[in-house]
Structure 1
């Protein structure tokens, strides 16, 4: 999206038929509803007596952060500070302040001062969010003075300023921020949260929450747990792996969290005290333990949320499809998260193309994907000594047991950067990535699962496999 002059929108709103106006705004990629253009026109009339016309130039109108969908009515970005203006047809009370606080959360990541305003058309009034997060009425002179003081206005594609990975927190890895409420759910998560909370407070005994890796299941579950606990509901969270890191911090705050194996040894009074069970990553839990959880749910009349990825399993013993079939008779409602927002859009486009050549990635470049090639494992060994310690490594040349153990260790970690070693077992069969490994389906799912969990950068290290090198080169060169 490029910036535009607000006077252009105001003039066309007055003089063009609405259907032509809509086409014109679509051409300009201005994401603003026709009803809001009247509010914008009123704002311009309100401000015009107090400053020069250039103050209305270089605004991003209706900008949305990709993947998250967070929208801003008006943004004017300069080197020294940013101005954000939200448009309202009527006064909506404290909702206006909360909206600006939400904007503040997202714009803070641009690391420069931001001034937040709301204009109310109904009363022809302007409000500013104060440094103490209060909403106060201000003069139009205040806003126009700021617009005149902006220096070196940004005029390029605003989307490149926003890195979606900066906004994604994990309750397990950013626990203090989670407890402090320094996060927001996307629209689908918010909708599902309402359903889950109402279901757990009501009579829906068992709800399934499904979704691919990166759709935000864990954050939603822990947010639901926090809301339920604030309503005096006792919640027990059961997780697949050992309790670690941020979960220990949550336990110190009074949260009940156990790993799947420990669930079997819980004393009877735990079940009697608990109202709701929340089971995360159910597909990673062995079937006998899931059966025991279901038995406890029924015996003690507990409500429960089972979260899982139907397409994922990390080892042979636990197949998500078996778990899904086991739970099916008990599920009263299913919710499926579809918005994959944990990873960067560019990475997702590359992964889809990498696994299926027919899914061509229409991106400008793959700046977050790098590739190295080695014709000998001796050269690879020397290179690996230079890999930064903060990069996670997935070595598909390793023995399967070793690979499986490493994958299970990675499964509960936040992955920003990952390096993947791909040897001669990988090839393309009719445009789809394949492998000669005897556990081919599991190997490919391991690879897909961890690539789609990566937030920032992917490095493919190809060894002794020229055909794979040639194909991957075709993919990355198309993005240049």
Structure 2
């Protein structure tokens, strides 16, 4: 949590006061732990003094969030002021800097602020020479006079004084290459600093035909990073192949059409009958799901033809006993040295409240870790017929229903909860949706340790708990759980949410 402050008040502390005292005062004013470095503090003092010299009122210096960082993304803004349909951003520079670097930063800021205003006020102040810069209508960096900067700052109207975090949703900045393929192909997104670092390192390894491993939990942007590197490699080198260990979605075909003659996306089932040696690089999505013979094929082709390979995986999302026994990650580790392992740790897509609920749902002992309010609905249905009615109603309200994958050979309640036109767990691997609804049948229960378990799956190879986890982690914003004829689980989930606003 961080609150806007009046930067006039902040700069009334003596300029010679210690940085520790200055930041302590900043903490008190903003109700946060944010801090400035000494050069940033000096630039802020010069900024305020200059604006006062140009008759900017103290009122105009109110409502600024200082050194704001978007949660989970670590995108930083030096000064940020938010109003209804408007936003003002001032970046502070202590010394002259190249115009292209200023332009790059302001364009990136524009992207992250576009949901707040179609025309954000973007300024860069360089304190050594008192120069101001902004973007013109073509997003070129141009210098403007101080009076023009003062005019733009003073013209800002009413501002929000609430928690700045409330105006940002981290998941909004993570594009799904499969579900939002048009935005992906137009490159309407930015990578986080960690993703950018990994991209540079992995691209260097691909240039040397190395094999690398990319890991990360649900919501870390692993799929976006993999496809981003693959797309850029294909545009520079051609002959690139992405192997998706799941069913191809419509977005895969759109990308294939757009990248024709440069990049092919194929399913893992197609790999054995495909001449992979003709490609310059292979990108394996959901590598923990590969059949052993396909993984062996890829490793052998790398060794024989010196083709760069990126394995992207998360073993915790294995859905079957076979996938767990295969231990693809362990086998990959035998061929990929540890210094070529890249693990994404910053969760972007994951809504913190949703993530805390999912953890607590799987283990009720984590109830105290719940972050409220949770954007979760828990609904009860007395029968599968009633559940289908509830699910159809939610679909009319833009919820995507994901059924737990059933058995092709043995009839069960999983079949009764399958709805025509809806996708199952395996069909949505690697995808994400704003609103998701899942069903929990009588086969689920809480054990003596308050951990969610399942009695069986009609396909003895599938793990119901893993299927449920994979399904609920496809959500970005809102989750609905329809509990079917299972009073005990329903009661415990309602108790879990008790106190939710």
Q: Please report the TM-score for the alignment, with normalisation by the length of structure 2.
A: 0.88
SS at the partner of 1:251? helix
* Contact 2:318–2:466 under 8 Å retained in 1: yes
* Contact 1:77–1:154 under 8 Å retained in 2: yes
Of 447, 457, 468, which residue of structure 2 is paired with 1:447?
A: 468
Structure 1 pair 451/384, CA: closer, same or farther in 2 (3 Å)? closer
* Contact 1:397–1:421 under 8 Å retained in 2: no
2:386 and 2:319 mapped to 1: Cα distance? 30
Partner of residue 350, structure 1: 357
SS at the partner of 2:129? coil
Give deviations 1:189-241, integer Å, cap 9, x for gaps. 111111101111125x2111112222211111111123323443642221123
Deviation, structure 1 residue 24: 2.5
Give deviations 1:132-157, integer Å, cap 9, x for gaps. 11111112222222233222221111
Check if 1:19 corresponds to 2:20. yes
1:41-440 correspondence to structure 2 within 5 Å: 41-50=45-54, 51-93=56-98, 94-202=100-208, 205-232=210-237, 234-252=239-257, 253=259, 254-267=262-275, 271=277, 273-319=278-324, 322-332=327-337, 333-359=340-366, 360-366=368-374, 368-389=375-396, 390-395=398-403, 399=412, 402=415, 406-429=424-447, 430-437=449-456
* Contact 1:279–1:306 under 8 Å retained in 2: yes
Structure 1 pair 466/38, CA: closer, same or farther in 2 (3 Å)? same
* Contact 2:87–2:117 under 8 Å retained in 1: no
- RMSD over equivalenced CA pairs, Å: 2.5
1:381 and 1:228 mapped to 2: Cα distance? 45
* Contact 2:10–2:25 under 8 Å retained in 1: no
Deviation, structure 1 residue 86: 0.4
Structure 1 pair 396/232, CA: closer, same or farther in 2 (3 Å)? closer
Give deviations 1:388-446, integer Å, cap 9, x for gaps. 25422244697377589822122254322111211233222313222222669811111
SS at the partner of 1:195? helix
1:5 and 1:441 mapped to 2: Cα distance? 58
* Contact 2:70–2:76 under 8 Å retained in 1: yes
Structure 1 pair 8/371, CA: closer, same or farther in 2 (3 Å)? same
Deviation, structure 1 residue 112: 4.1
1:282 and 1:49 mapped to 2: Cα distance? 61
Deviation, structure 1 residue 117: 0.3
Deviation, structure 1 residue 377: 4.1
1:238 and 1:30 mapped to 2: Cα distance? 44
Structure 2: segments with no counterpart, 5+ residues: 407-411
2:438 and 2:14 mapped to 1: Cα distance? 53
Give deviations 1:366-398, integer Å, cap 9, x for gaps. 1x1111123444543443342225422244697
* Contact 2:320–2:463 under 8 Å retained in 1: yes
How many residues are paired up? 475
* Contact 2:3–2:161 under 8 Å retained in 1: yes
2:20 and 2:157 mapped to 1: Cα distance? 37
Check if 1:466 corresponds to 2:501. no
Instruction: Extract structure 1 runs of 4+ deviating beyond 6 A.
Output: none
Deviation, structure 1 residue 54: 0.9
* Contact 1:424–1:463 under 8 Å retained in 2: yes
Structure 1 pair 456/41, CA: closer, same or farther in 2 (3 Å)? same
Give deviations 1:13-62, integer Å, cap 9, x for gaps. 52643322222323332624232111111111111122212111111111
